[in-house]
Structure 1
């Protein structure tokens, strides 16, 4: 390409356009003239470079690059832009990009471009990259926390696609509740998780939640389970589509959740201060909680002395009493005024009455109320002797009948009363009643026939 000869003014303007700094040097690299095209480079003090070697104005790591450009003497085959750093008078580094061209008379022309704008762009790029990495790490932490909460929730939770109504995710609780040996839970139609008559209710629930955007609830029967569950659904947007968060909880849990927190606290305080002993166990009899009166009854000073132990250990008749209580409670039958004795920590025995119920929770628990009968009898000492002694009328038979007959009749009455009480406590379970009375089953049957109680017992317990 041929260019016409340029006058000095035009040449100077051209240099000002293509470069921010222009250096005119002799063959040894001594700067003879300097021209700057940007005011931002004034901090470099470029005019002070005149008379100095170019290599002395740059930082130590750039000296080799300057030396190479001077040795090339502007040979076109090795001409290329090189990154050079200058040190300003205030100690800051300023980056420039140079190329060296030959001039007439052995002079050299070095043209430099300010890299500050490029450096600023690079800094922004690095900051943006770091910000993205921080956001990504934060999202990873959020996802990890979500996953822990999702999988450790005691409730069964499903993520359901609003369009296909298929299960996208299921936590551990949902997988345990809705397990199906023939199908994977993820990918199934959510309606298949419920009994036929409840599928329409669930379908209406999802439609209502999608239409209102609020949390909607209904009662539905889970497939394979007898009792109804409370199903709640709420909709949210993710990745351009709608999804449902579906929760399944027992009706009892739902009722507890709607209780006034103040009443729950008051109930807990009332149980702790109840004047009778109160214990809470699991279905195997392991004690989970006890109130102060219960500890006092057993002669304990701290709940840690009894929590974790089996209730059977504290009952005088041990397995016999626990068998009677456990049988009734597992059948959801309440136990009322069950007479027995407990063994205290010091080895003493106390007569007590036990009442108990089974608490229907996600994990069934047994609640026991234990009343000290010694204290109750002392409180009722004012009862008349005739009322306290049901056999007081027998004294009137003295002189009318031989003592042998009176004693025999008394023994028969006591035996009959004990058998009736044992059958009532065991809900007519003869095996448990015989064990409670210390009799064999055959001996108990003989006594039942003797007292004419066989037909009566068989009619109650066929």
Structure 2
């Protein structure tokens, strides 16, 4: 619809057919009924009469406005709008609506939406005012409802965050199962470690696939009882992959008109008289001052203590679990292959010199001792990692002879670059030759220089370099 058509709708098309017989009393009634507050303003801007179409305004004593200037009952911030209403008023059309804040006799102000129509050539104008309080209350109600919805959403989001944090940090293996189709919808990391698979591989997998066929009837019975009774405790089943016997407990809950089962897994109870040593030992290893890491032989980390986390410059142990150990241990492509080969062939490894590469770039020389445990349901490697002092120079064992020196040299292979190793070895041999020449010549430096094929100045420089003999005297 174009602008001209819209403007034509602002007035009656044939007013003379309907209002020709309307007298002043009828017109006044129409004015009063068409708005909440109607004001008659003369050409000087003074209020001459008032009519109230809203009973809520009766107690406000607005009739005291009569005789006052419109300028005086309007707030300072709205006076320009009031003047524009009087200025723009015409006989055949109303002005656009303007929000004006007026001062009531009690001293407070209320917002009214005004439009104006001119009554006479003398400048008389009628102002039609509509109450904005109702609209403001509705707007405020909408804002309050929106805030309530946002607060409810924030509470739900925080509750979900707390649930997910507890779910993922729980040490007890837990599966969430859709009761209708028996498929896993969620699995916490403890359940993934317990079952020996990645959490992502468990999601949307049928829970029946986790257990042996012989346990299928027991599983189905347990799920049926949990759905009808609410929970079931201590149902014994066997895992399909390892054949290990476990204890299962199931509880049911509802969410979004759907039924879910919460399945908790645990190992069978230890024989009477046995202590829970494995969990105690695990807690000891977690608090060990040396770094400890448990991993599969293929390198996937299963568990790591706080010292390992700090050594690798990680924020938490969760960042290490599931990652490959070679990401932080040893020289890429070299050390881990040697460690894995030795563990596979001999079952253990002692004092292997390597290094740890921190996530933030730090490098720390370490000795590792490891053992490969194979006779368990889930074979794994336990490794103890100890930082060692950096070997800045090759140790010299003068009294022990060349054989001991070669043994010391073999221990240093892999702990420093080849060029540094060659330089240290060269210095060692040079020092040994000078010491041998001085011994043969009874500490005669001129003769020693001649035997070594050096000038006396070169020999003195090397003696000073290696700190040999009394350099204060010269022969």
Structure 1 residues 217 and 83, CA, compared in 2 at 3 Å: closer, same or farther?
farther
The 10-residue stretch of structure 1 (144-153 or 178-187) with the greater mean CA deviation from structure 2: 178-187
Tell me which residue corresponds to 1:21: 37
Of 69, 80, 85, which residue of structure 2 is paired with 1:53?
69
Are 1:68 and 2:67 an aligned pair? no
Alignment of 1:190-229 (within 5 A): 190-229=207-246
Q: Normalization by structure 2: what TM-score?
A: 0.52
- Looking at structure 2, the residues matched to 200 and 79 of structure 1 have their Cα atoms a distance apart, in angstroms, of 82
Shift in CA distance, 211/281, structure 1 to aligned 2, threshold 3 Å: closer
Residue pairs, 1:235-314, within 5 angstroms: 235-252=252-269, 282=281
The equivalent position to 1:140 in structure 2, one of 145, 157, 168, is 157
Within 2, Cα distance between the matches of 1:235 and 1:287?
Answer: 34
Alpha-carbon offset, residue 154 of structure 1: 0.8
CA displacement 1:391-447 (0-9 Å, x = unmatched) = xxxxxxxxxxxxxxxxxxxxxxxxxxxxxxxxxxxxxxxxxxxxxxxxxxxxxxxxx
SS of the residue aligned with 1:40? helix
Distance 2:54 2:283 in 1: 88
Counterpart Cα distance in 2 of 1:121 and 1:281:
63
- TM-score with structure 1 setting the length: 0.53
- Find the residue that maps to 1:184 and give its secondary structure: helix
Q: What is the deviation of 1:233?
A: 1.4
Cα 1:22–1:288 shift into 2, 3 Å: closer
More helix as a share of residues: 1
Q: Specify whether residues 70 and 283 from structure 1 end up closer, same or farther in structure 2 by C-alpha distance, changes over 3 A only.
A: closer
Aligned to 1:6: 22
Residue 205 and residue 71 in structure 1: after superposition, are their counterparts in 2 closer, same or farther (change >3 A)? same
8 Å CA contact 1:205–1:217 kept in 2: the answer is: no
2:143 maps to which residue?
126
CA distance in 2, matches of 1:28, 1:219: 97
CA deviations on 1:349-386 (whole Å, 9 max, x unpaired) are xxxxxxxxxxx9x9xxxxxxxxxxxxxxxxxxxxxxxx
Deviation at 1:115, TM superposition (A): 1.7
- Alpha-carbon contact 1:208-1:216 (below 8 Å) kept: no
Count of paired positions: 276
| Matching of residues 60-459 of structure 1 within 5 Å | 60-74=76-90, 79-106=95-122, 107-180=124-197, 184-252=201-269, 282=281
d(CA) in 1 for partners of 2:284, 2:263: 35
Distance 1:183 1:86 in 2: 66
Residue of structure 1 in register with 2:421 after alignment: none
**In 2: Cα distance, 1:285 partner to 1:177 partner:** 20
- Structure 2: distance between partners of 1:192 and 1:148: 27
Indicate how the Cα distance of structure 1 residues 62 and 43 shifts in structure 2: closer, same or farther if over 3 A, else same.
farther
Gaps of 5+ in 1: 257-266, 269-277, 290-307, 309-359, 363-462
2:339 equivalent in structure 1? none
Q: 2-side partners of 1:284 and 1:57: how far apart?
A: 79
Task: State the Cα deviation string for residues 72-91 of structure 1 (Å, max 9, x = none).
Answer: 02365672222221223334
CA drift of 1:181 comes to: 7.0
Gaps of 5+ in 2: 1-13, 289-306, 308-375, 379-475
